[in-house]
Amino acid sequence: MIWELHDVDCFNNFVGPLLARREGDQAIVRLQPRPEHANYTGAIHGGLMMGFIDCALFAGAAILGAEGTSQGLTLECNVQFLASGRLNVPLDAVIDVLRITGRFVFLRGLLVQEGANICNFSGMLRKADAKR
């Protein structure tokens, strides 16, 4: 599945496109880092990784069955950087849904590149109101 928004002017399109799949109880969301994702040292920019994580939380929630998240909001996103990410090497967000309530989805995950942990993250999403 390709996770992509149709509004070509939005930030998500700068980050993606993202490839997403379910693997057991986890969602795997893949980004192919491009040269424009680099920081001044030639590694993946930390802000890009945080933006990718935010997008991946929504893709992962949808793939893992959390209804109502496509028009939802990020209420919290915590990121711990563990290592530098490399350009031109696929970057995977491996995501677990911890809990789904009537209004919220709680998730956690890792950014992984060639088996190495790059970031640890957790997030809380608020589902869209039924009226939206």
pLDDT digits (tens, 9 = 90+) for 60-93: 999 998 887 777 899 999 999 999 999 999 999 9
CA distances in angstroms from 66 to 48, 58, 82, 107, listed in the order given: 25, 9, 28, 11
Question: Is 89 inside any structural domain?
Answer: yes
Q: Around Cβ 42, how many Cβ atoms within 10 Å? A: 10
Question: Is 132 inside any structural domain?
Answer: no
Question: Is 74 inside any structural domain?
Answer: yes
| CATH number of the domain bearing residue 107 | 3.10.129.10
Average pLDDT of the chain, as a whole number: 86
pLDDT average, residue stretch 21-26: 92
pLDDT band at 132; cut points 50, 70, 90: very low
Question: Is 131 inside any structural domain?
Answer: no
Distance CA 64, CA 66 (A): 6
pLDDT average, residue stretch 13-25: 80
Question: Is 39 inside any structural domain?
Answer: yes
Q: Around Cβ 2, how many Cβ atoms within 10 Å? A: 9
* Total domains in the fold of the chain: 1
Model-wide pTM > 0.75: yes
